[in-house]
Amino acid sequence: MRPALDLLEVAEGGLTLSAAEFELIRNLARERFGLDLRQGKEELVKARLGRLIRQGRFPSFRSYYEYVVSDRTGEALVSMIDALTTNYTSFRREPAHFEFLVQHLLPAWRNRRSLRIWSAACASGEEPYTLACTLLEHLPPSSSPEIHILATDISTRALSAAERGIYPAERLRDLPPVWLPRFFLRGHGSYEGHMKVKPEVRRLIEFGRLNLIEPFSHAEPFVLIFCRNVMIYFDRPVRQMVVERVTSWLEPGGYLFVGHAESLAGLKTGLEYVRPAVYRKPSPGELPAGSRKGRR
């Protein structure tokens, strides 16, 4: 008789998730997109993947797993990623970052020829659009640097929503009042109650799919990288790898912002600590004091 602990019941449809099936899914999630489904996440896996299993009429979690790994299009894996991760975000999320950008960084960047910024886990687009609106509001149009924002995410579903740039009006209620008429169009007809990002904002942003645990390259380095609220999904070795890869594309003197619920403590980053969730990459020849801060 199979031990009771080896079976985890799924309420819908009488499906069960065995310990072996959980390990298969757990290993696949870590190998393909770095997700750390540690022990105790069984209920999350059952709830999140149960819908896909029912929709696809799979008889078991193992048969669903075999379908995902054999799908050469990669679409099944993307659907699995979307189901297991939460693409929650909002406009001006963690506003202290945008206040620091306006008060401390933009005054020093006014004379730059260009500003290249990377939103490395952009979800449904609120973060890069907030960045674009902030830059347009606070940089003088007559002498403003050329702005390019790269916005990437692993989820094609989230990117599709980001590229549309259409949001329920209630999601914008906490934005500065002057932003709504300046940066958004009010929806009519079937889009009543929605707002769409104006073309002048949208043109500053390039969207693209990117898996942070796979090798990637960019044309040029960035002066600012937002990599927020994504490393909470990774274990320490994967966080180390991702931070190394991301910061390799940060120009000397540039800044990395992480989520306030995240920490680089214990990681070898080569970055200096500036304030909570804000780090700076020292320029060549700078005194090494910042590296001591970076280990905080």
Active-site residues: which are they? 48, 153
111 CB-near residues (< 8 Å, 6+ apart): 143, 145
CA distance 46 to 59: 14
CA distance 162 to 132: 13
* 290, containing H or E segment: helix 289-293
Rounded to 5 degrees, φ, ψ at 53 are -65, -40
* 156, containing H or E segment: helix 156-164
117-131 exposure pattern, b = at least 16 Cβ within 10 A, e = fewer = bbbbbbbbbbbbbbb
Please give the radius of gyration of the chain, using alpha carbons only, rounded to the nearest integer: 21
Three-state DSSP at 183 gives helix
Sign of the dihedral through C-alpha 243, 249, 254, 259: negative
Three-state DSSP at 88 gives coil
Among 19, 24, 92, 83, smallest CA distance to 48 is for 83
